[in-house]
Amino acid sequence: MDDRNRYRSTIQKEDLMKYALVTGGSRGIGRATCIKLAELGYAILVNYKGNKEAAEETVRLVKEKGVSAEILNFDVAKKADVDAVLGGWIESHKEDIIEVLVNNAGIRQDTLLMSMTDEQWDSVLDTSLQGMYNVTKCVLNPMLMNRYGRIINMVSLSGIKGMPGQVNYSAAKAGMIGATKALAQEIAKRNVTVNAIAPGFVKTDMTEELNEKELVNMIPMKRFGLAEEVADLVGFFASKNASYITGQVVSINGGLYT
Ligand code: NAP
């Protein structure tokens, strides 16, 4: 099969029910991403950890787009949890395929390293980096068998540049960037792309207690980004239009130097 035919055959598989899984889909960037992927026609799996009401609200908003949505409650940091809930879902949905995975779940626990507790280090690394591993491991094999897929990792400016007060978070996101580049090369020939998105400051619960008025002074666009703006970029990476892009990290930060 030549490259053009291989490309066509991947875009004409209409027989499976196609899902997008968004970790941390209950709030912020994750919720906006669920809505964007719903607009692309995907059935949505909304993962969350503790905020059931917010996850239910995401499901409601996704359904407004005319596609189905299901909640998958698991802590991405706990492999046994991921294997039981997500692995169980995959096992009982043999006719369906998770075509898009967005590793979005993340937390911040900011403090200088000299005063950081082991718990603050572990919880941030476990959620972003270990969480990406746990969920991707679960989803990857069926995606490879399907010979088509999109993995999108939500990283951060902090993982590119390093931010004082965020040694744990910078390490977690930089680790995800390395994994993105390595995995992209491992699976490119199966038509599964792996890319990372690095937001700067985005208006969500995560940035709520930051001093926005002061921080915008260092952003060339003089404002925080919106979750919807990040979701638009996820939508592009998830689309067929991004077929030849893999192993990349794209910043979305209003012009902050990276
Ligand atoms: P947010 O508003 O605080 O939402 C975090 C989401 O992650 C929630 O849905 C939360 O679920 C989920 N979550 C947290 N820990 C989890 C776990 N262990 N298992 C499963 N889900 C978990 O955050 P956000 O601002 O939208 O950030 C989303 C992603 O973008 C994160 O990876 C973050 O690091 C990254 N990012 C954000 C910014 C920013 O300025 N906002 C900048 C750069 C990168 P519950 O609702 O159940 O708690």
Tell me if 166 sits within 8 A of 108, measured CB to CB: yes
The pTM for the full model equals 0.95
Atom of ligand 1 at shortest range from CA of 52: 47
User: Is residue 101 pLDDT above 50, yes or no?
Assistant: yes
Q: What percent of the chain has pLDDT over 90?
A: 93
Whether the per-residue pLDDT at 11 is higher than 50: the answer is: no
Compute the distance from residue 107 Cα to the ligand 1 centre, in Å. 6
Within 6 A (CB) of ligand 1 lie 23-24, 26-30, 47-51, 54, 75-77, 104-107, 127-128, 154, 156, 199, 201-202, 204-207
Element of type H or E holding 71: strand 69-73
Does the pLDDT of residue 34 top 80, yes or no? yes
**pLDDT band per the 50, 70, 90 thresholds, residue 170:** very high
For residue 7, the Cα-to-chain-centroid distance in whole angstroms is: 24
CA of 242 relative to ligand 1 center, distance in Å:
25
**How far is the first Cα of the chain from the last one, in angstroms, to the nearest whole number?**
41
Task: Give me the mean pLDDT over the 11-38 stretch.
Answer: 88
Phi, psi of 96 (to 5 degrees): -110, 165
Instruction: Report the pLDDT value the prediction gives residue 257, as an integer from 0 to 100.
Output: 78
Q: pLDDT (tens digit, 9 = 90+) per residue, 124-161?
A: 999 999 999 999 999 999 999 999 999 999 999 999 99
The pLDDT assigned to 8 comes to 44
Residue 6: band (very low, low, confident or very high) from pLDDT cuts 50, 70, 90: low
Residues with a catalytic annotation lie at: 169
Number of the ligand 1 atom closest to the C-alpha atom of 126: 18
* Mean pLDDT, rounded, for 189-203: 98
Which residue, by CA, sits nearest to atom 33 of ligand 1?
106
Which tens digits make up the pLDDT trace of 218-246?
999 999 999 999 999 999 999 999 999 99
**What are the residue ranges spanned by the domains of the chain?**
9-252
Q: How far apart are CA 198 and CA 159, in angstroms?
A: 8
Q: Using the predicted structure, report yes or no on whether residue 102 has a pLDDT greater than 80.
A: yes
Q: What is the CATH number of domain 9-252?
A: 3.40.50.720
Mean pLDDT throughout 186-208?
Answer: 97
Helical (H) or strand (E) element with 47: strand 43-48
> Does residue 213 carry a pLDDT above 80?
yes
Distance 200 CA to ligand 1 centre (A): 14
Q: Rounded to the nearest whole angstrom, what is the distance from the C-alpha of residue 161 to the centroid of ligand 1?
A: 20
Alpha-carbon distance 111 to 45, whole Å? 33
Map tokens 């043999």 to a residue.
94
